[in-house]
Amino acid sequence: MIQLALPWALILLPLPYLVWRFAPPYRRRVEGLRFPFFRRIAEAAGAEPKPGAVVLARSRLQMAAAVIVWALVVLALARPERVGAPVERVKAARDVVLAIDISGSMGTQDFQTPDGERLQRLAAVKQVVAEFLAGREGDRAALIVFGSKAYVQAPLTEDLDTVSGLLGQTSVGMAGPHTALGDAIGLAIRTFEASEIEQRLLILLSDGSDTASAMSPVNAAEIAASRGVAIYAIGVGDPEARGEARVDLGALRDIAARTGGAYFFADDVAALGTVYDRIDTLAPRETQTLSYRPRQSLAHWPLGLAALIALGAVAVLHLRPRLGAGPATERRSA
């Protein structure tokens, strides 16, 4: 379908006629010749000398070319364009930050698959998170990994394949052997500062207790709540272990409660997969539908045609003067 982007430009079409009809004619003084006996010559010819003006006549070719060129120029000003079929794009109105613990204890092989095989905790987490990201089409996601320090592996992006790939390249102990739970939450809050979307979701997964943070997890959770960030905390590992290897379920439960999120515990691959399914249920995905119609400008076509017609008319008038001469001049009294 072809439409005019600026249809109001068509009001310029009658402008040349209005100027010709109502504007005063253009006048120019030119030099003349004086010779003796002019009056006698005029009397002999039976003419009466008087002041006057010469109005140049235009041929039909000139008038037709001028009208067509002007119409094409005005049409180009109206910006004709080809409008395509509507294109809809569904975009999620939610940002998700994944904060994954990669401390030394995540190397423990105590996660059991449905086949009875035992996996390393981090390997099981990578597998389930990759499946989770595969179903987040349209969402923006970021990845934070933490051990003794917290690091942003990927800022908020719609390129979820890259986020999944970066998670796959992490290994146990890359960020240090300890667990900086509070720092991970604080870094997630800073990551959300680049977001203008109201629904902000932090999925925090850890298998230990906080031992290396500069900010306590509780204080970090309070700040997250004030910034509209909901934390869904997932505990993995052994609650009965000692020291840093013991997952602090109480702290994770408190963090989730302070932000209006939820707390989960998973001790095998199936349970971890169920946790991410429940997160989808508790925090349903909000979407925005963006619709637009592709437009292709066609203004160059009437402009090009106008240029060709104008050049053709000029060429004809120069090559065949008699064709455009018409009456040479017309006299009228001043």
Q: In this predicted structure, what is the pLDDT of residue 322?
A: 52
The series of mean pLDDT values per 10 residues for the chain, 334 residues long, is 88 90 77 72 75 66 89 92 79 82 86 81 89 79 93 91 92 89 93 84 87 86 92 84 73 91 86 84 66 85 92 83 46 41
Non-local (6+) Cβ contacts of 274 within 8 A are 266
What are the beta bridge partners of residue 118? 112
pLDDT at position 286: 61
- Strand pairing report for 229-236 and 199-206: parallel
Tell whether the torsion through CA atoms of 183, 184, 189 and 191 is positive or negative: positive
Tokens of 226: 């004030």
Q: At what angle do helices 121-134 and 160-168 cross, to 10 degrees?
A: 170
Looking at domain 89-290, which of 3.40.50.410, 3.30.70.270, 3.90.470.10, 1.10.10.10 is its CATH number?
3.40.50.410
Backbone φ, ψ for residue 201 (5° rounding) = -125, 125
How far apart, in whole angstroms, are the C-alpha atoms of residue 292 and residue 85? 9
Q: Which of 78, 192, 212, 244 is nearest to 148 (CA)?
A: 212
Q: What span, in angstroms and rounded, lies between the C-alpha atoms of 132 and 273?
A: 8
Domain spans in the chain, listed from the N-terminal domain onward = 2-27+38-85+295-333, 89-290
The confidence score (pLDDT) of residue 303 equals: 92
Q: What is the pLDDT of residue 293?
A: 81
pLDDT given for residue 37 in this prediction: 74
Phi, psi of 188 (to 5 degrees): -65, -40
pLDDT value, residue 24: 80
